[in-house]
Every structure is written in structure tokens, then in C-alpha cells.
A and B are shown apart, each in its own frame.
Chain A
Amino acid sequence: MSINWTDFTPMLSSLGGILIGFAALILMLAKGRIMGMSGILSGLLIPNSSTEFLWRSVFVAGVIAGPAILINFDLINIASTPVASGLLLYVAAFCVGIGTAIGRGCTSGHGICGLSRLSARSLCAVLTFVISGIITVSILRHVL
């Protein structure tokens, strides 16, 4: 193991994390909800009532509008280099979908909100998906 100093962005990443935290706080204070993207999406697919549909779709619209504004006003350069393509990309997409549904949460729901509520379930979920992610990347980069 060695540290990738060239790509390391402690300040920007901390700032991004702090903003993500504030977003979670606003949603909890306003709506009393956990800010978990997979849960919000899931609920959008089977809305219980029209108000459920409204807040979820408004949240999703905001998440898209955020980076769109940054790009439009040339505020920051958002780098995004894919690591997978073809079939592998869609296998990944399916795993992310089914996994977050069965595990009831993703990086935002378990990783930020769950850990901040001191949920033992979320701690287990985070440890599991980080370790599973590390094993996956290690096999792809260092075994295959």
C-alpha cells in the first residue's frame, strides 16, 4: 500500500462531506426523513401518496440541479472518469440496486445518516459494503 498523494483532496472532500451533512440535517429538520438516496428512489417507484411522490421527486431534482449549477456557472471542474464499461457496468448497476434494496440503504443512508444516529445496523452495513468494495477492487486490479 502507498498513498496516492497526487489525487488526494482532503480539504475539498471534507468540505463536500460537510455539505452532505448539512443536506441530511435540512431533510431531517424539515421532513423528519433519513437522507438515503436508495430509499428515496425506492419510494419514488412505489409512492404511497402524492405528497410522498412530490418531496422525493423534488429532492431528486435538487440533486441533479446541484452539479448542473456548478457546471453551468463554471464554478468547479467536475472530473468523472468511468472505471467500468459494457456488461460489467450493468452488472454493477444491478448489484447496486438489488444490494441497497435488500441491505436497506447505501452510502448516504447508512454511511452518513445511520452512523450519525449511532445505528448498529448501519455500522454493520457500512463495514460490509466497504470491505466488499475493497475485495472487489483488489480482485479487479491485483488478481485478474
Chain B
Amino acid sequence: MLAVLSVLFSGLIFGIGLSLAGMLDPTKVTSFLNILGKWDPSLGFVMLGGIIVTTLGYFFIFKRGKPLFEKDFDLPKKQKIDKSLIIGSALFGIGWGLAGLCPGPVIASLAFDPFGMFLFLLVMVIGLKFGNVINKLL
């Protein structure tokens, strides 16, 4: 129960963080990517704030040796920088630049634009499924 509540709390804080940060505004997101035009550096501050807190916190959490409600940490095992990492990230960047939306904000935006965002989410999920199939073939 406590585990589920912690996860719910994490999601809540993530959703509130994204809202305050301005990440739910595609115009703001693309203004960050628009370095040749009128550049809005705000998203850099989102990343910086997030990374400082997470780097420090992770250090102490990993030092504990195990999470509170699981036997072990479940971390990505892959170390190698491969073609799929680069091609996938490049494709994601194209979508991110076109619509100013990445997966977290898509979910959070369901709060105020359920219909429009649901369609986006649906196509995004089809893309995710497709990608997972490709991952199995590689």
C-alpha cells in the first residue's frame, strides 16, 4: 500500500513539476529548440534543476543498496552506444521539434485536453508498439 502511494506521489509531483516548468506548452518547448530565432532558454533550467536534485539524491539512494519496497534496483543494463540509440533518439527529436511534445507532457496534458491529447497519445502508442517490434527484430 505504501509502495503504491509512493508511486502515486511520484507521479503527482512529476505532473506538477512539468506544469510549473512550462513543459506542457508546445510553444515554449519549441522556443527552446529555436536557437536560430528568439530563443527561450527556460527548458535548460528545467533540466539543470532536475539533474542537480536527481544526481545528488541518486547518490544517497544507491548508497543504501536497495529500494524501500523492492528487492533490488531495476536499472538499464545496456552500456554500449549503438545505432538504434542514435537513430531512435534522432527520430524522437524530429517528433519533439514538430509538435513540441514528449511523452511525459502528453500524459500530463490529458488533464486539460483529454480528447486532443488522447488522439496524439494513441498514435504515439502505436509508434511505441512499432518500435518495440523493431527492437525485437534487431
CB distance from A71 to the nearest CB of B (A): 6
B contact residues, total (Cβ < 8 Å): 113
A106 to B54, CA, bound (A): 16
The answer to whether A121 and B78 have CB atoms under 8 Å apart is: yes
Digitize A105-144: 1 where CB-to-B-CB distance is under 8 Å, 0 elsewhere: 0111011111111111100111011111111111011100
A80 and B12 contact, Cβ closer than 8 Å, known pairs A30-B67, A30-B68:
no
Residue of B nearest to A11 (CB): B45
Question: Which positions 14-55 of chain A face chain B at CB distance < 8 Å?
Answer: 14-35, 37-38, 41-42, 45-46, 54-55
B interface SS class: helix
Chain B residues with CB below 8 A from A116, complex form: 50-51, 54-55, 58
A interface SS class: helix
Asked if A74 CB lies within 8 Å of chain B CBs, one says no
The answer to whether B99 and A83 have CB atoms under 8 Å apart is: yes
The answer to whether B46 and A63 have CB atoms under 8 Å apart is: no
Of A1, A13, A25, A90, the contact of B22 (CB 8 Å cutoff): A13
The answer to whether B10 and A35 have CB atoms under 8 Å apart is: yes
A67 to B13, CA, bound (A): 9
Chain A residues with CB below 8 A from B17, complex form: 16-23, 66
Of A15, A16, A27, A82, the contact of B7 (CB 8 Å cutoff): A27
The answer to whether B93 and A59 have CB atoms under 8 Å apart is: no
CB distance from B28 to the nearest CB of A (A): 6
Of B51, B93, B101, B111, the contact of A99 (CB 8 Å cutoff): B93
A63 and B14 contact, Cβ closer than 8 Å, known pairs A8-B42, A99-B92, A134-B35:
yes
A96 and B102 contact, Cβ closer than 8 Å, known pairs A17-B50, A18-B49, A133-B97:
yes
A16 and B49 contact, Cβ closer than 8 Å, known pairs A37-B103, A112-B54, A120-B79:
yes
The answer to whether A66 and B111 have CB atoms under 8 Å apart is: yes
- Extra 15 A-B pairs, beta carbons < 8 Å, given A14-B48, A19-B13, A134-B93: A17-B17, A20-B21, A31-B74, A32-B74, A42-B132, A62-B9, A63-B18, A65-B8, A66-B13, A80-B109, A88-B98, A94-B130, A99-B94, A103-B85, A138-B35
B residues contacting A by CB (< 8 A) are 3-4, 6-28, 30-31, 33-43, 45-55, 57-58, 61, 64, 66-70, 72-76, 78-81, 84-104, 106-113, 116, 119-132, 134-135
8 of the cross-chain contacts (CB-CB < 8 Å) are A25-B54, A29-B68, A32-B75, A67-B111, A89-B120, A97-B126, A99-B94, A115-B51
A residues contacting B by CB (< 8 A) are 1-4, 7-10, 12-35, 37-38, 41-42, 45-46, 54-55, 58-71, 76, 78-84, 88-104, 106-108, 110-121, 124-126, 128-138, 140-142
